[in-house]
Structure formats: C-alpha cells, structure tokens
Structure 1
Amino acid sequence: MNLETQKECAPLPPGEGPGERANESLKFSSASIAGRRQHNDDACAVCQPEGAELRSRGALAAVADGVASAEAGGEAARAAVSGFLSDYYSTPETWPLKKAAARVLQSLNGWLYRKSGGGEIKQGWLTTFSTAIFKGASVHLIHIGDSRIYRLRGDRLECLTRDHSRALGPGRTFLARALGMDAHVDVDYRREELQPGDTYLVSSDGVHDFLPAETVVGILHNSGDNAARALVDAALDAGSGDNLSAVVCRVNRVEASDDDLLNHNRQLPFPPDLRPGNKLDGYLILQELHTSSRSQLYLARDLDTGELRAIKTPSVNFSDDPLYIERFIAEEWTGRRLDHPGIIRVYPPRPERQFLYHVLEYIDGQNLRQWMQLNPQPAVEQVRELIAQLVSALRRLQRMEIVHGDLKPENIMVTADGRLKLIDLGGADGAGIREHLNLADDTPPGSKNYAAPEYFLGDRPSHRSDIFSLGVIAYELLTGRYPYPERAGFRHYQLKHYASLRYTRARQHREDIPEWIDGALRKACAPDPGHRYPALSEFVHDLHTPNPEFSHERERPLMERNPLLFWQLVALLLLLSHLLHLL
C-alpha cells in the first residue's frame, strides 16, 4: 500500500508504483510492492501539508510492515499509517510534536491490541511503524519494530534507529516490540538537526536486509527522483522474498525553525503612546482602558467593521528586553489557538500591521478584584458557580497542554451578565508553546500572592500550579483574605521550602464556612504540588459534596496535619528537658 497525500493528508487509493512529491525544501519519492509474496502487508505514506499546518506539524514519511506471522498484519499496517496521518494532523497545535505523536500511537496501539483479542500473535493486528517528521530545521524520528530510518550525509550512511528484535539463531529473529503487541507500547523518539543535502530513507526489512550499505549509498546518490523505486527493485533482484517498501526524502533547503511568527514580529517596532483620535493600522483609538509598567490597553473601533476591539501595546520600558518581547509575541500566538467562551479572544493581526500589538475582544465589565470589593463574602453557592466557570476555562487550557501561569482576580473579567473570562495570557506556558516559538525554558512567576510555590523553588510548573492559584482565589472570594501571609512589596520573593508556608483556616475569617469546604480549599492550595488535587473535577466535587477526609480534620494527629510544627514542638520539649536537667 502506497499512500501519497496532499495538503489535507487525505490518502489516495493504494498503488504498486513509485510516487513523487516535491516542494522547494523537501523532495520525496516512495515505492511499495508485494515482491514475491501474494499480498503486500506493508504500507507507506508521504504527507506534505502547506502553510500553518506545515509549520506546526511538519511533513512526514512513514513505513509500516505488518507482522507476517499475524493473520491481520497487513490490515494493521494500513490502519497504522492511515490512522496516524489522520489523527496526528488533528492534534492541538499547542501540543509539542513528541507528545502529539506519542498520544496518537498509544491510541492506535490500544485499538490494534483490542482488535487482536489481547495480543495473540497468530491472529494479531501487529505491525512495525517508523516515521520521519520534517519540521523546521529538525527531523523527528518515531520508531517501533524492525523497519529502519537511515540518513545519508555526504558519503556516510547511518542507521538512526534500533531494531526491536532478538536473535533466535542463525537467520532467525523474533520481533520483541510492535504496535498491537501489548496494551502499552514504548516508542523510540529521536530528534536530529537537518543539513542541506541530507537524504533520509525509511524502509522495511524487505529492502534493507538485502542491500549492503555501499549499494544503498550508490542508489541514493545516482537515482534522482526514482531512488525509492530503485532501492525496491535492487532488493528484489538481490533475492528479497519479503514485501518491499521505501520512502526517500531529499533535503534541498533547511527552513527557519518552527513558526516564523517570532522571527517576523520581533522586528516590528513598539507603537508610540496612543491618544483618543489616533489611528493604528485601521483601528481608531477611543480611550485608554488600563496602563501598567508592562503594557497599555486601549478601546478602539475597527474602521472596516465598526466593531469595538481592545488594543494591547507593549511598554516602551521593555523595548530592549528580548525575553519580554518573546513572551509578548507568545501571548498572541497562544490566544489565537484558544476558542472558549471563558477565555478572551485574540484576533489575527492585519497583514499590513506596522507595529507590535495585540487585537483583543473588548469585554464590557469589571475585573474580579473590583467585583470582590463590591460583593464581600458572597454566598457559598455563588462562589461555587464562579469557580465552576473558571474550571471550565482551565480545562480547555489543560486539554491544550497550557498552564495559564498568572491566575489572579485582576486577570479575570466579570461581564455585565455575570460571566467570567480569563484574560492576559502573557504568563501562559507549555512545552508546545516553547517548541513552536523556540522560547527559553524559564517560566516567569505570576503575582506573589497567587503564584504556586514551585515557581519560586525552581520546580517546573504544571496544571497543579493553576489549581493552587484557583484555590487561593476561591479562598479569597469566601473570606476576603489570603490563605497564607500576604506577600506585599516589589522585592524578590524568597521561599526556602514548601513547609515554610502555613495555611490559615478559612473558618478563622468566616465561621459559616463548613469544615469540609475549608478542607477542600486547603488541599487545592497546598504548598507542595504533590499534595494538591490532581484534577480540577475533584476540587469541584469537594466544593459541592462533603468529603469525610475533611470532616474529621481536627481528629487527625498533629504529626499528619502539620509535621513541621510537630517536630518543632518536639525539639522545644527536648531543649526544655535538657535545660531543666542542667538546673
């Protein structure tokens, strides 16, 4: 089976002959034949999308070799290739490539495993799978089984994958790992930098087992656009009795790394201070909405549509700060990929944009800080509703593998009809964002009173970091206070360890809060991320339904409730005992 795919990666009917796909940077050729066997249990594919899809997910070459001893090996190979093409290009753009490929293959493996009735070799849907994904200046290799991926650089041919097989004796091997063989699959991943002139070969064992390296090098150097078919024919002539598949990719030019948004927009100048009546790239500035040391926000009217928009401009204080500029650009990139009623909408810029700024949805309302000042100590049920809205928005971020990073009342808007919207995605972070925009690995902490402790201890933030911030906001909505001593001022916040934060029970500020809700708040904003809720749904459940674990909180020994205090008291008692003994 030979799949040649176009922009949308829709498979064409299977064929026996070679296929060629070319653009300015990469040139592919492929071939797959049954050889001396009655049926072709191999499958191969090439996919070259265009535009944003090419930048975010890349072009790929894939080969799957159905296990010959399995009755459904051919079906498994074809399902693996077509399923990967379909699902991989449908994964969220904010996922890093490695995660996207792994998620798709885990899903495919589970489906094949169930089809085979639990991994029975004889009737199993078992197949190898190897793909080279060309994205920006890198190639990402995904591999399981004994198909192979080679690189020819100059005259040196190098195998970049490791066969997942074991020798049983002379001329006999056992495939130790394949899709559909087990309920869980371990997939090899490798990333390599591309160089102009590189040639990559993805082949099944019916090809590479029958061709010496010097023959492969000669064919790749001399066969031009017909290299894949020439390799298949040469292996067949060399005595191959297996199915034969090969995909060849020639790297003519190395594209700029990943998304070009960062490279393009970092060249744009900061806009000048704007005043009512000014025009900016087709937007009429109506008034200033907010200003801070880091940015300005203006109300504007789109002169083409007449609709109101918010324009966010960077502060000139950071015009020479490359990290600030990268984060400002990343905020736009992230927002344009989120579509949720509880998250502010970020609109694409005009093609003729001359300055660096964001075009945002205009939200007519007040921020949650202002709402809290007008509604001190609201009813528990009202707080539950507000938290449920925030949880819905945070779930969308979680599915996109994004951590908001700066949840606080000032970054949450309350509309006229009482709906909440997350704004200010400047602290948003995730592996996919860093990969696509080539950002630094460091994540700046948000506000001192809401940012999770791991930001200040050098540990990597996660979705539990947002749960911490959400717990603090819920606590503040109910009590008007912080669960930990307020951290005021602009000095760099120092935190030595998680145990140095001491939770103040919400019931000390508001006696009508049930003990079990206080327990849910304490767990949500636990200093140690390992002690927090692992899922937003658990926090929501415990805010609505009494958890027996919290109802008996006072009955727990001090050692469990506060181990640091327990050992401090022990040390104090020992010290007093020693002093009394000396007296």
Structure 2
Amino acid sequence: MASAPLSLSYGQAFVAPDLRRHRSSMSVRVPEQTLMRAKGACAVISDSISRNAIAKQAGDLSVRGFLADYFSTPDHWDVKSSATRVLRALNGWCYSQSQHLEEGSYVSSLSALVYRGREGHLFHMGDTLVFRLRGAEFEQLSRDHVTDLGGYRYPSRALGMDGSIDIDYMRMPLKQGDLFLFTTQVAQGTLMPSDYVRLIRQDASDLDAACERLAEAAVARAQERGYGAEQFCFQLVRIDQLPDEEQDTPGRVYGDLPIPPELSPGERLDGLEVQAVLSRTAQSRVYRVRDVHTEREMVMKAPSPELSNRNAYLEHFLLQQWVVERVKSPFVVRIMEPSRPRRHLYYLMAYVEGETLTEWARRHPQASLVQRLDIANQLGKAVQALHHRDLLHQQIHPGNVLIDTHGQVVLTDFSACHLRDVDGHKRSRELVRQVGLTEHSAPEYALDDSVGRRSDQYSLASTVYWLLTGELPYALTPDRLRGHTDLEQLAYRSARTLNPEVTPALDDALRRALDPQRALRYRRMSEFLHALRQPLGAERGSSHASPRMLREPGGFWQGVAGILLLLLVLSWLLR
C-alpha cells in the first residue's frame, strides 16, 4: 500500500508602515505530490540589513531565488546537496552585485526549512529566527550570528556578505503536530517564550490568525517599551500528517517506474509507436517514435532492460533528463512532454531530421572553410550552453553532432554528461569510461587526472580539427594512452599541412586548445570560440575579394601578372 503523503499548513502576518520599503520577506511552497516526494516542501524567511530601496529587493530576491532554484535541482540530489549548492550560487550572485552599489547591498539573513518525508532540514545564515513548538516545549533552532559595533548589533555570516559563506545545517526528525515559527531579529526582546506559546495555543486551528495575534502583541509591547516598531513578520508552519514510513531516496521517485522492455518497430508503449531503432547499447535504447494521439515524431531514450537493478545508472539516467529539460539552447536537443501519463522510465526528445556530422562531412568534401567554421561555432555555442549550467558533456565527437536540413547544429547524447565539481572528478571519469573513451577524448580521462571544462574544450577542438582536415591532431590518440610518459609522443600535426586554407592564427588556436596539458589550454571557452570566429570575420569583411579569389588566390595573381606582362610587351612593340 502506498505511503500517505506529507501534509502541512501555514499562516503569515506582516506589519510595516511602508510595504514598499520593508526589509523582510517570507514564503512557503508546497509543490504537487511528485515533486513533493523528490524535493519536499519548503519555508523561507529573509531579512535585509539595508534600510533603503535595495533592502526590499534583497529580501524578496533571496527568498524567490532560493525557492525557484531549489525546486529546479535534479530530482535525485539529496536535500542537503541541493540547498547548499543553491545557497552558495545565490550568495556569489548577491556578493558580486553588491560590489557595484554605492549605497545599500544585497546582504540578508536567511533561514530555510525543508520538510521531506519524516525529516526536516534547516539551513541558516545570519540572525533570522526559527523556533519549534512541540507540545509545551518552545525551542530556538537557529543560532544568532551577530556582531556588536558601537552599541548596534549587525548580522554576520549573512547571505551576500562575502564571496564564500558558512551555512548552518541541522537535520531533525519531524512529529505530527510540530509547529515551526519564523520571524526576524526585530522581534527579539518583545515577546517572551511563554507569550509565543500562549498566543499560538490560544487557537492553533487558524495559523493566519495566530500570526496576527503575535504581530499585534509585538507591536503593543514595543510601543510600551518606548522603541520603534517599524515592522514585524511572523510565519507559522504546522505538520498535519507524516508519511506512514520513510520515503525512498529522491533518485528512486522516477526510478520506481518500470524500465521499458525491448521494443521493435510497430510496437507501442504509452501511446508511442516505435518507428525505428536508432541505437542499442549496454546502457540504453534509443528509438524514433510517433505519438499516435498527436502524430508528433520524437526520440525516446530508455535504460537498457538488462540494467534494471543498477540504481547508480538509473540515477545518472535521471540526470540526463534533467540536463535536457534545463538547458535552453537552439543548439542542444530539447525535451518533449508526453501527451499521456508516463508509465515507464524514459524521456522524450525532439526528433531532428538531418544527419550526423560524420555523414555530413562525407557528403560535402568540397565544403568551404566558411561552412566548416560556421558549424564549429554553432557547436561551440552548444557546449557553452551546457557549461553555463555547470555541466560537462564529456562525449563531444562527430557522431554526437547532428546537422538538420537547415544547416543548424544540434548537440545530442548526454550519456556521460555530469555536473562539474559534484561528487568530485572521479565520478565524471567513471561515466566516460563506462560509455567509452573516443579518439576525441581529452588525455586526462585516460590518465585518471582531474577533468573540467577544458576537457570539453579539447574534445571540441579535436572535432573541429577533424572537420577542417579530415584527420586527427595526434598520431597517438588519447584513448590509447597508457601513462603520463606517453604524453611526450603527442606531437601536434599542423592543420595547415593538411588544409592550406587554415590560417596561421587558426592553427595556433587549435594547437593551444589541443594541448595535452589541461592547464595550458584556453582558460575560458569564449577565448577559443573568439579565435574560431576570426577567420570568418576576415573572409566576410573582405568586400572586394570575390569567392573565386578567396578559393584560388594563386591563380588570380598569376592572371594579373600575365596581363601586366602582355601590356608591357605591347607598349614595347608600339614604340
């Protein structure tokens, strides 16, 4: 029998003379059940240290940014990994934005409590306050990180205060009936713990009314004691029902769906009719399918039936789906939503009518340098779109690049795609080895060295070199390396010797991007792509040179010399 879902309710109250300049923000998100099982529900409160127009932006942005990004993390990540990564990214953004402000800052205290299954996960920075009321016990869960300066107390270790941040983390069991109170530092010194318990318990069935009572009492107490009551905010969250038993780990939410059986053309699955089998590997099956309801043609990717018990691969399969869903680029294949509920484990991608780069190069041996470099730059934009999401593709080669009927590049196959700096470099290398090294793989994969964005840069440059010359840059391909001493045998073969149209500058750019030592390649992908665009700009910018002149410069100048010689002879004869 399925476990009962987690259920909670909440209430809020906010008191401020000028809502346009308030410094605090709070929110609760309870998603639909599928996302609830994977990520849980979340309550957040934020309080800015600024007292100007930036304060409202800082408070609202930190709350909305955390909720949006947390629920967009991969479903198989655990709560701590998801929230910590989101908070660090948010902290870096807030800190960088504050450097450009003359007044105010995007610094704010923040507390976020994630409720998942039968556990709560508290993440805290600064001096916002989180309490738990369990029975008659009223306990503060958060720690006050404050600094006293000239009689004033300022939050420390707050979001956006520094380029790096320490995050308090607490994991706690939940009990049915638990009440969690969120408020800000301005409430300190107004109400006593006994006041909180009395006012909440007075009528806990209406949490909005309970928050209103807390706000009214806090304002009255502040006025009695003769200090300003600029703003108060209170948020209450109550656990109404817990699951009967602990839920599965997030990675199993979709993994509980059965893996599709082996399919053949003509067979149907969830209203999808198989048109053709595009690929069968040890890890996956790829089919071209047609939705019998909408008539759309799509590509279905599913795990191999033989791997039904390999949960590690299933988790990575879910990451592949997340990659396609989150990366928005015309140069990366896009996800397609099924027209019916999915009853098996797979995902759908747009069907690209075209051919692989390998097939394209075979059919267009006379393609110009401009055409080839245009393809190279489109492929570079696809890789950049992944890198902007902190993703490594790790399998860039001509067979994974499609050219559609309009000449547009679409990058496919995310079998080895992995998040950069998540689980270290070891997992990234393992994925590549599981899928298989190629002749375009960077040397570090074969040598168990650290990998990163420059590893994708190598594979991209190797693919571009092959596209321009039809050959590989080294006689000994990286997938055949056995040790670091073999790196000495990697002597770069100039692309100009194989294709005279390649300019010296372009050859130097390829040489640098293909350096066997990862640290010696371009620091940023954008630098390499800029070098690839230079020949395009020079050729397109030459308005006086005809296409024939560009393709056959030697013959053109020979003709000019012949005409000049003829004129010289005629002038001599007419003397």
Name the TM-score, length of structure 1 as normaliser.
0.71
Segments of 5+ residues of structure 2 without an aligned counterpart are 75-81, 536-575
Whole-Å separation in 2 of the counterparts to 1:326 and 1:178: 34
Change (3 A) 1:331 1:505: same
Whole-Å separation in 2 of the counterparts to 1:190 and 1:313: 39
Whole-Å separation in 2 of the counterparts to 1:110 and 1:222: 46
Q: 1:425 is paired with a residue of what secondary structure?
A: coil
Change (3 A) 1:58 1:352: closer
Whole-Å separation in 1 of the counterparts to 2:494 and 2:478: 20
- Name which of 320, 325, 331 aligns with 1:336: 325
Change (3 A) 1:502 1:248: farther
Percent same amino acid among aligned pairs?
A: 22
Change (3 A) 1:263 1:380: same
**Quick check: 1:43 aligned with 2:24?**
yes
Contact 1:429–1:443 (Cα < 8 Å) also in 2: no
Whole-Å separation in 1 of the counterparts to 2:468 and 2:326: 33
Q: Which residue of 2 is the match for residue 415 of structure 1?
A: 404
- Name which of 441, 446, 449 aligns with 1:451: 441
Q: 2:498 is paired with a residue of what secondary structure?
A: coil
Whole-Å separation in 1 of the counterparts to 2:320 and 2:458: 22
**Quick check: 1:272 aligned with 2:254?**
no
The CA deviation at 1:393 is 1.6
Contact 2:270–2:343 (Cα < 8 Å) also in 1: yes
Q: Which residue of 1 is the match for residue 539 of structure 2?
A: none
Contact 1:404–1:466 (Cα < 8 Å) also in 2: yes
The CA deviation at 1:359 is 2.5
**Quick check: 1:84 aligned with 2:62?**
yes
**Matches for 1:203-352 after TM superposition, within 5 Å:** 203-209=183-189, 224=204, 225=207, 228=211, 233=217, 237=221, 239=225, 241-243=227-229, 244-252=232-240, 262-349=251-338, 351-352=340-341
Q: Which residue of 2 is the match for residue 175 of structure 1?
A: 154
Supply the AA of the counterpart residue of 1:268. L
The CA deviation at 1:323 is 2.0
Contact 1:464–1:533 (Cα < 8 Å) also in 2: yes
Deviation readout 1:219-244 (Å, 9 max, x if unpaired): 77787336655655369648483544
Whole-Å separation in 1 of the counterparts to 2:441 and 2:237: 47
Deviates more, 1:263-272 or 1:154-163: 154-163
Q: 1:444 is paired with a residue of what secondary structure?
A: helix
- Name which of 152, 160, 163 aligns with 2:145: 163
**Quick check: 1:28 aligned with 2:10?**
yes
Whole-Å separation in 2 of the counterparts to 1:254 and 1:529: 50
Deviates more, 1:238-247 or 1:78-87: 238-247
Q: 2:237 is paired with a residue of what secondary structure?
A: strand
Whole-Å separation in 1 of the counterparts to 2:530 and 2:288: 39
Segments of 5+ residues of structure 1 without an aligned counterpart are 1-22, 119-123, 435-439, 547-583
Q: 1:356 is paired with a residue of what secondary structure?
A: coil
Q: Which residue of 2 is the match for residue 532 of structure 1?
A: 521
Q: Which residue of 1 is the match for residue 567 of structure 2?
A: none
Change (3 A) 1:58 1:398: farther
Deviation readout 1:420-455 (Å, 9 max, x if unpaired): 211112222226998xxxxx8875115343333444
Whole-Å separation in 1 of the counterparts to 2:19 and 2:463: 67
Whole-Å separation in 1 of the counterparts to 2:279 and 2:334: 18
Contact 2:444–2:451 (Cα < 8 Å) also in 1: yes
Change (3 A) 1:281 1:179: closer
Deviates more, 1:307-316 or 1:84-93: 84-93
Change (3 A) 1:178 1:276: closer
Q: Which residue of 2 is the match for residue 147 of structure 1?
A: 128
Supply the AA of the counterpart residue of 1:78. K
Whole-Å separation in 2 of the counterparts to 1:347 and 1:433: 27
The CA deviation at 1:88 is 4.5
Whole-Å separation in 2 of the counterparts to 1:398 and 1:474: 18
Whole-Å separation in 2 of the counterparts to 1:281 and 1:160: 48
The CA deviation at 1:386 is 0.9
Deviation readout 1:33-65 (Å, 9 max, x if unpaired): 469x99995523223253378766953321315
Over the aligned positions, Cα root-mean-square deviation in angstroms equals 4.4
Supply the AA of the counterpart residue of 1:163. H
Deviation readout 1:381-431 (Å, 9 max, x if unpaired): 232111111122222222333222221111111223322211112222226
Contact 2:440–2:478 (Cα < 8 Å) also in 1: no
Which structure shows the higher helix fraction? 2
Q: Which residue of 2 is the match for residue 483 of structure 1?
A: 473
- Name which of 107, 110, 118 aligns with 1:130: 110
Change (3 A) 1:508 1:106: closer
Whole-Å separation in 2 of the counterparts to 1:209 and 1:179: 21
Contact 1:201–1:246 (Cα < 8 Å) also in 2: yes
Whole-Å separation in 1 of the counterparts to 2:129 and 2:531: 51
Deviates more, 1:336-345 or 1:124-133: 124-133
Contact 2:429–2:448 (Cα < 8 Å) also in 1: no
The CA deviation at 1:281 is 1.9
Q: 1:520 is paired with a residue of what secondary structure?
A: helix
The CA deviation at 1:515 is 3.1
Whole-Å separation in 1 of the counterparts to 2:357 and 2:346: 25
Aligned residues: 502
The CA deviation at 1:470 is 0.6
**Matches for 1:369-518 after TM superposition, within 5 Å:** 369-375=358-364, 379-430=368-419, 444-445=431-432, 447-456=437-446, 461-487=451-477, 494-496=482-484, 502-507=490-495, 510=498, 512=500, 513-518=502-507
The CA deviation at 1:303 is 1.0
Deviation readout 1:352-405 (Å, 9 max, x if unpaired): 434333333222222122333444595432321111111222222223332222
Larger Rg: 2
Supply the AA of the counterpart residue of 1:79. Q
Whole-Å separation in 2 of the counterparts to 1:110 and 1:175: 20
Whole-Å separation in 1 of the counterparts to 2:375 and 2:248: 36
Change (3 A) 1:163 1:317: same
Change (3 A) 1:261 1:407: farther
Q: 1:336 is paired with a residue of what secondary structure?
A: helix
Deviation readout 1:329-353 (Å, 9 max, x if unpaired): 3322322333332222222345443
Name the TM-score, length of structure 2 as normaliser.
0.72
Change (3 A) 1:323 1:151: same
Deviation readout 1:171-191 (Å, 9 max, x if unpaired): x24526598997x66544234
Q: Which residue of 2 is the match for residue 190 of structure 1?
A: 168
Contact 1:31–1:246 (Cα < 8 Å) also in 2: yes
Contact 2:335–2:348 (Cα < 8 Å) also in 1: yes
**Matches for 1:42-121 after TM superposition, within 5 Å:** 42-48=23-29, 50-51=31-32, 59-64=42-47, 66=49, 72=52, 75-88=53-66, 93-94=72-73, 96-104=82-90, 107-108=93-94, 117-118=102-103
